[in-house]
Amino acid sequence: MSYNNLKATLKTPEITFDEQKGTIKIIGKCYPEDANEFYLPIFDQIRDFITSSNQPIITVTFAFEYINSSSIKHLLNIFRFFDEYKGSSKIKIIWCADKDDASMYDLGKNYKNMIKNCSFEIEEIEF
C-alpha cells in the first residue's frame, strides 16, 4: 500500500510513513486552519498503516515545535486508537519535546499517563 507523505508547511508538520522500517514521523509546527480537514485523512492513513503492517514493532514519533488546542484533541483520538489496538504489531510512541519547552514536555507526560498498552518514551531534543 502507498501512503501519502506530507511536506511541512508554515502551519502543518511533515508526516512520513516508512513501511520498510515500520515508522511514522510527525514533525514540526501544528496549527492547521481546519484541524478536522487536516487530521481525518491522517488518522485514516495511520490506522491503515498500523493495521496492515507486518512489522513486529511500529514506532510513531511526534516532535512538535508548537501545537494548538484543536490539534491536541485530534492527537488524543490517535493515542486512543494506539492504546486500544489489538493487532499483531506492537506500537512504540516517542514524544519529543524541546528541552526548553516545559509545556510540550508536560503534554507528553499527560499522554503517557493515559496510555496503558503501548510503550511511550519522552525524549528531549533541540529544535
Residues of the chain falling short of pLDDT 70: 1
Q: Are the C-beta atoms of 26 and 14 separated by less than 8 Å? A: yes
4 lies in a domain?
no
* Number of structural domains in the chain: 1
Q: What is the pLDDT of residue 88?
A: 87
Find the domain containing 77 and state its range: 14-125
Supply 125's cell numbers: 531534543
5 lies in a domain?
no
29 lies in a domain?
yes
- Per residue, the 3-state secondary structure of 48-92, as one string, reads HHHHHCCCCEEEEEEEEEEECHHHHHHHHHHHHHHHHCCCCCEEE
20 lies in a domain?
yes
Distance from C-alpha of 76 to C-alpha of 68, rounded to nearest angstrom: 13
Q: What is the pLDDT of residue 127?
A: 81
pTM for this structure? 0.95
Residue 112 sits in a domain whose CATH number is 3.30.750
| pLDDT tens track for 18-43 | 999 999 999 999 999 999 999 999 99
Distance from C-alpha of 117 to C-alpha of 108, rounded to nearest angstrom: 16
